[in-house]
Chain A
Amino acid sequence: MQGGGGIKLWLRVAALVVGTLLLAGWLVHLLYIMLAPFLLSLLLSYLLHPAVNRLERAGIRRSLAIFSLFGGLLLIFALFVVALLPGMIRELQLLYTDFPAFLWSLEREILSWQATLAPTYPFLARVDMVARLAAFRQGLREHLLQVLPYLSRTMTPHILFVPLLTFFLLRDGPTFRKALFRLIPNRYFELVFLLQYRLNQQVRNYIRGILLDSFAVGAITALGLHLMNIRYALFLGIAYGLANLIPFFGPVLGTLPGLILAVSQGGKTILPVILVYILAQIVSVTVIVPAVMARMVQLHPLVVIMAVIAGANLFGPLGPLLSVPLTALLKVILWESYQGLKSLKH
């Protein structure tokens, strides 16, 4: 009897989840072009929500509070750019002039390693490294030439829509939510309400945690590399911080630019660079993750790895970033729906 009830309950949970996912998938298909700006706006509204509340508590009207916050953020961004711009331009100029020499020294290092290792590993001698490096150089040039048009094409809708969407999400979020709740039958109203509230909290904690973690890791890396007189410290720090957004693989992938650079500079700086990356990770793992991310739902490492790989295959470059929070949310949806439906008497 109980087993039958359990199966029926699971069927209801599965129907609820599959129905929600199908609806979400259909909406994503319909609004694909708006998806990225919408997700970005959602992210910004999650981050700005507490600050808007604080301003409102001080007696400022909500619309005015949002405008003031946007203005303040724009000012901070401008100051940040002004403060960092000279350094960034200097590093860019340095990179521009150094890049051919850097590529050349990297190729020379690789060829010398091939020559050293070929007697021990004969298959290396059969690899036409010169041709491969020339093809890599050509591919890199083509990619770099495509970056600016790609960025301007993809960023234009973001620049137009993101502030507008964020404004309305912050101002009218409760009204939109309330309108959606009208669709829920009375019997499931509280269950769905609690479910969305807990999901909301999970997403908020995750976004805040991962952004704080990446910022801290990026800042520590940039500062550490700068103190050790490593070139392009700022860029390497930003790259490492961004890579850190990807769980598991990010921290490893993020070290590649620094390590390649260290190799091209003759290999003496490899150890200090590795030490800085390790220090940043120690701070992240021992301080930030336990303090901020502990509230996020725990997933088994194997599930995380599979989710990252599946995300990369399904959604491209954004996939690894989105797959882990989405998997965690799916787990919360299943668990909370099961618990909630179990508590319903009929």
Chain B
Amino acid sequence: MAENTRSNQHQATAPADTQWPLWEVFVQPPKGAPHEHAGSVHAATAEQALQNARDVYSRRGEAVSIWVVPSRLITASTPEDMGPFFDPGNDKPYRHPQFYKAPRGVKVF
């Protein structure tokens, strides 16, 4: 039990992630759709990240192409950006082109 207690303490003070650097994985599905974020993997090098991504995210024919990007290079918005970034601007009708008449013969989605 003494052993357990010590290792628990160690875990509590150790950094949350002691593994290799994290990489974000983007896979392109067949039929030419754009790359989509699939998840992330740990790897020491870019080539290793690519191989790990292949093993984790594309074993069942999901992908025709894979991108890996070091997670630390991604600049992301924060929850505080919610208001100024993502306000839909419903008071600016010119952003929502629903008022155009679709010509005959054009399928309206």
Question: Does B bind A?
Answer: no
Q: Which residues of B contact A (CB under 8 A)?
A: none
Q: Which residues of A contact B (CB under 8 A)?
A: none
